[in-house]
């Protein structure tokens, strides 16, 4: 899953991003509220972690603006303020949860998991295409009696392909969604992960194939 982390303390942001990525989240990091709002308005995120005290635009203002625009993305607020009124203000503004600094990394991860779990409680827990099923909670790819666990980026890529229902997804779209706007990763990384997925589909004995469309992108074909 892809998260936006907005935290102006750069060393803390760096440490949080490392922990989150180690736990199989894709993370984009920004350091001020205006940038956070821009990313949330133009990106496709599964959740956001917003610090309240940020330059240019505070986290509470970002949250209110996002909710006014009808964006229901789960939001965890980070705050150095422990006063009950500040916490109530954040929840009333549309936050799903809050965490007071300093906090333990284990608690942050637990709250992120809970926040994302609540979002998915009322949606399908798996995706199906042809003879494959992708379990969203476990990152498990299943075909018949065979199954294999996907890495985080393999999972995100296959989730996008299945959700497209045979439609073509461009390399740029994969890069923006999975590796982030500011990533310095070369675009050929998409081809590398496509090759990983192809091998896993073949290993499962699935008839589903990933088709390449020259200068357009990739799509799934159910096969026969």
At 141-196, the pLDDT tens digits run: 999 999 999 888 898 899 889 988 889 999 988 887 777 655 677 888 999 999 99
Supply the mean pLDDT for the chain.
86
Helix runs in 121-187, H state only: 152-163, 171-174
Strand partners of residue 140? 135, 149
pLDDT, tens digit (0-9, with 9 covering 90-100), for 93-124: 788 888 888 889 999 999 999 888 776 555 55
pLDDT value of residue 156: 84
Structure token digits, residue 130: 């042809």
Which domains are assigned to the chain?
A: 2-120 (3.40.50.2300), 126-221 (1.10.10.10)
Q: Does residue 205 register a pLDDT over 80?
A: yes
Supply the pLDDT for residue 2: 82
Does the pTM of the predicted model rise above 0.85?
no
What is the pLDDT confidence band of residue 224, given thresholds at 50, 70 and 90? low
pLDDT at 206 over 70: yes
The answer to whether the CB of 194 falls within 8 A of the CB of 169 is: no
Q: 53: burial class by Cβ within 10 Å (0-12, 13-18, 19+)?
A: middle
pLDDT > 70: what percent of the chain? Answer: 91
DSSP SS3 for 168: coil
Three-state secondary-structure class, residue 65: helix
| Strands 209-213, 146-149: pairing kind | unpaired
Decide if 152 contacts 24 (C-beta within 8 A): yes
- C-beta of residue 78 within 8 angstroms of C-beta of residue 70: no
pLDDT value, residue 117: 79
Euclidean distance between CA atoms 173 and 169, whole angstroms: 6
pLDDT confidence of residue 179: 76
In this structure, the number of other CB atoms found within 10 A of the CB of residue 170 comes to: 14
pLDDT tens, residue by residue, 45-69:
889 999 988 999 988 899 999 888 8
Query: For residues 116 and 223, what is the distance between their CA atoms, to the nearest angstrom?
Result: 34
Higher pLDDT, 125 or 162: 162
């Amino acid at each position: 899953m892809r998260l936006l982390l907005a935290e102006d303390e750069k060393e803390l942001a760096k440490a949080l991003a490392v922990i989150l990525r180690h736990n199989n989240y894709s993370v984009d990091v920004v350091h001020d509220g205006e940038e956070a709002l821009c990313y949330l308005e133009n990106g496709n995120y599964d959740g956001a972690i917003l610090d309240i005290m940020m330059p240019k635009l505070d986290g509470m203002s970002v949250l209110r603006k996002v909710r006014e625009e009808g964006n229901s993305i789960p939001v965890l607020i980070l705050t150095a303020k422990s006063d009950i009124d500040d916490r109530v203000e954040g929840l009333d503004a549309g936050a799903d949860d809050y965490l007071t600094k300093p906090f333990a990394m284990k608690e942050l991860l637990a709250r992120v998991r809970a926040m994302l779990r609540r979002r998915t409680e009322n949606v399908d827990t798996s995706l199906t295409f042809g003879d494959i099923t992708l379990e969203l909670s476990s990152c498990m790819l299943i075909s018949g009696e065979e199954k294999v666990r996907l890495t985080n980026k393999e999972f995100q890529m296959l989730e996008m392909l299945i959700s497209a229902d045979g439609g073509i997804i461009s390399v740029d779209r994969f890069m923006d969604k999975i590796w982030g706007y500011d990533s310095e990763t070369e675009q050929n990384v998409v081809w590398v992960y496509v090759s990983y997925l192809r091998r896993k589909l073949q290993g499962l004995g699935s008839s589903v194939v990933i088709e390449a469309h020259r200068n357009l992108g990739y799509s799934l074909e159910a096969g026969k």
